[in-house]
Amino acid sequence: MNEREAVLNALIKQEQNGYSTIILNNVLNNINTQNGKNSNSVSFITTLFYGVIERKITLDYIIEKFLNKPLKKLPVLVLNVLRMAVFEGLYLNTPHFAVVNEAVNLVKKSKYKYLSGMVNAVVKKAVLYDLKYLNNKPESIKFSCNEDIFNTVKDYIGKEEAEHFFINSFNKAPVFVSVNTLKTTKEELLKTSDIFLDTDVENVLELKSFNSKEKLFLNGYYFVQDISAAMCVHLANPKKNERIFDVCAAPGGKSFLTSLICKNKAEILSADIYVKRTELIKKTAEKLGLNIKTLVNNGEIYNKDLGKFDLVLCDVPCSGLGTVRRKPEIKYKTLNEIEGLYKIQRNILKVSSEYVKEGGRILYSTCTLNKKENNEVIEEFLSENKNFYLKEQKVFYNKINGGDGFFAALIYKK
């Protein structure tokens, strides 16, 4: 199987509601097994796979201009061949003759070889489309985004900021890491290795590229955590000797950073509803040398045996709109798909509040830019729970700190 065949198969699977990250990892593992590790192949496959997903609506708009039939009548395989070819021709600047030839060959290998002539004709014209014409098109076409999703973000952070956010989503997402201050310092890591770039946030670095086999990572000198997530934890201001509960902890980054801020001298309980996730948290905590207890627990059901806490971290399941740079398929969600989360978020916050001792606090956080999942959840909670008050709330996204879109609210119990 060649690279384009691998990408085509991956795109078809992703269209069947698969997770892009999992699908791509499987593809790369198979390619490496068959052909040996090849960095050029990995780069090309990753760029083409994510590029097509990121610009799907834009590509479909261009393709349909040169079709004699509605787009929805094309077989999924043929449509994805067209998307791949047009993306390569317009965004990767692959020579047009090669793009046309590869697309036709892919279709000829399938049961739809009778459509190879149509593919040949459409690709030849589509790769000549002038992208400057997109500037006058609706945001959904320009940014390849469900119109309701764009409007949700626009209503939250403003039109200009939303446009910047979605333009930036076409760029490669940076990888940020938090320094394990039990083993080293930010300054020492910068001196030790050239893989790091400095940031303005305390004990947060940017990686030039992530390698899971890199020695410093394997030895627990740092862990991957977005800069916005780290800033959320700092807002909570965890302290030594406090009792802290991370209600929806997986994959554990907020628990790890909390423990480090407290110099490993806080009682931290990290919970998740799935056993495998708690096991992963425990394993990573051990690698980092952190004193963290784990628990399988449902965040929507109050557990009276756990007692009260000084700080409760309440990072709820959300639509993930702040992470479209990493998971582009999120841009195509509908508001109906998101609405099912609202009740869960409110339930988890309500249950979390029952764990807070007097004078204690909750950090409610999400990785989305949606008022209904963020501010409105807090407003409703405070209106129903007069014994709590809002101390501070913040929104983070790439224009502010280069990171993903996050929201955090610090709520105190009177």
pLDDT in tens, 14-50: 988 778 888 888 888 877 656 555 667 888 999 999 9
- What count of other Cβ atoms lies within 10 Å of the Cβ of residue 244? 25
Residue 119 reports pLDDT greater than 60: yes
For 7-21, 140-154, 155-169, 272-286, which range has the lowest pLDDT when averaged over its residues? 7-21
> 138 and 158 in contact (C-beta within 8 Å)?
no
Q: What is the model's pLDDT at position 371?
A: 98
Query: 359 to each of 146, 154, 285, 387, how far by Cα in Å?
Result: 43, 36, 29, 10
- What count of other Cβ atoms lies within 10 Å of the Cβ of residue 212? 7
pLDDT in tens, 240-250: 999 999 999 99
pLDDT in tens, 319-361: 999 999 999 999 999 999 999 999 999 999 999 999 999 999 9
Q: What is the model's pLDDT at position 38?
A: 66
Average pLDDT over the chain reads 95
Pull the structure tokens for residue 347: 């339930």
Q: What is the model's pLDDT at position 150?
A: 97
Strands 243-246 and 292-296: unpaired
Q: What is the model's pLDDT at position 235?
A: 97
How distant is the alpha carbon of residue 96 from its chain centre? 33
Which among 277, 285, 370 has a CA at the least distance from the CA of 330?
370
Q: What is the model's pLDDT at position 156?
A: 97
Residue 78 reports pLDDT greater than 90: yes
Residue environment code for 303-335, b if the CB has 16+ CB neighbours within 10 A, otherwise e: eeeeeebbbbbbbbbbbbbbbbbbbbbbbebee
- Provide φ and ψ at 306, rounded to 5°: -85, -20
pLDDT-based confidence at residue 256 (cuts at 50, 70, 90): very high
Where do we find the tokens 């952190």?
A: 290
> Who's near 133: CB < 8 A, 6+ residues apart?
none
> Who's near 70: CB < 8 A, 6+ residues apart?
64
β-pair partners for 356 = 309
pLDDT, average across residues 256-272: 98
Q: What is the model's pLDDT at position 1?
A: 66
For 42-46, 147-151, 177-181, 267-271, which range has the lowest pLDDT when averaged over its residues? 42-46
Q: What is the model's pLDDT at position 16?
A: 85
The three-state secondary structure class of 391 is: strand
H helices of 72-180, in order, are: 76-87, 96-108, 116-126, 139-142, 147-157, 159-168
Residue 177 reports pLDDT greater than 60: yes
pLDDT in tens, 195-240: 999 999 999 999 999 999 999 999 999 999 999 999 999 999 999 9
User: Domains of the chain, with CATH numbers?
Assistant: 3-142 (1.10.940.10), 228-413 (3.40.50.150)
How many angstroms separate the CA atoms of 127 and 90, rounded? 6
> 369 and 413 in contact (C-beta within 8 Å)?
no
